[in-house]
Amino acid sequence: MARRALLVAQGAAVGLVALLLGLLVWKLVSNQGGNLARAANRGERPAAPNFTLDRLDRGGKLTLSDLRGKAVAVNFWASWCDPCKQESPYLEQAWSENRAKGFVVLGVDANDFRSDARGFMRKYGITYPVVYDGPGKTLGGYGVKGFPETYVLDREGRVVDAFVGAIASDADRVRLRRAVRQALE
């Protein structure tokens, strides 16, 4: 009797360890951790993870897949991030120059206070749509490791190019122009 109970207990312990290992593997596989950027920079066009988030620039929600048919630059940022301040005027410029062609910059403000984000948008004159992701739930799917990061998506929602860090140098700006052109093709 005791032997059978021991076997059951051992089986339960082995099962628990297997479950924890399974969770670890699932976490590693589901968190693409930069794979998206690497794949895009290898010339592949991986599908961008979809999301639905509250808008900060106005009321309501915005779903990324609703922008299908347009080229989109998904820009992850936060108001406390200094490099984000450098690149925001250039993103605003890219949006105003290309919006008539079907290009949208979509800001995703993450790990931030809503009020701080709105203050940042006012201060830096951001007019493109911005959504709020306080807990940072979208970051794992894209493999965002820091702010800012920008993913340029084509009209089918596939990643054409990924910028890890601020789009600040002239070379970055040339690269963004090229990525937007590719995304609009």
Query: Considering only residues 80, 124, 158, 184, which one is a binding residue for another protein as defined by CB under 8 A?
Result: 80
Query: Considering only residues 111, 172, 173, 175, which one is a binding residue for another protein as defined by CB under 8 A?
Result: 111
Query: Considering only residues 34, 83, 134, 165, which one is a binding residue for another protein as defined by CB under 8 A?
Result: 134
CB 60 within 8 A of CB 172: no
Q: Which is nearer to another protein, 97 or 116 (CB)?
A: 116
Question: Whole-number minimum distance, CB 137 to another protein, in Å?
Answer: 8
Give the count of residues interacting with another protein (CB under 8 A). 19
Q: Rule CB under 8 A: say whether 109 interacts with another protein.
A: no
Position 22, amino acid: G
Question: Whole-number minimum distance, CB 104 to another protein, in Å?
Answer: 26
Q: Rule CB under 8 A: say whether 12 interacts with another protein.
A: yes
Residues paired with residue 53 on neighbouring β-strands, in sequence order = 62
Q: Which is nearer to another protein, 3 or 42 (CB)?
A: 3
Angle CA 180–156–75, to nearest 5: 50
Helices marked H in 72-136: 82-98, 114-123
Which long-range CB contacts under 8 A does 57-65 form with residues at least 24 apart? 57/121, 57/126, 57/127, 57/128, 57/129, 57/130, 61/131, 62/106, 62/129, 62/131, 64/106, 64/157, 65/157
Residues that bind another protein (CB under 8 A): 2-3, 5-6, 9, 12-13, 78, 80-81, 111-114, 116, 134-137
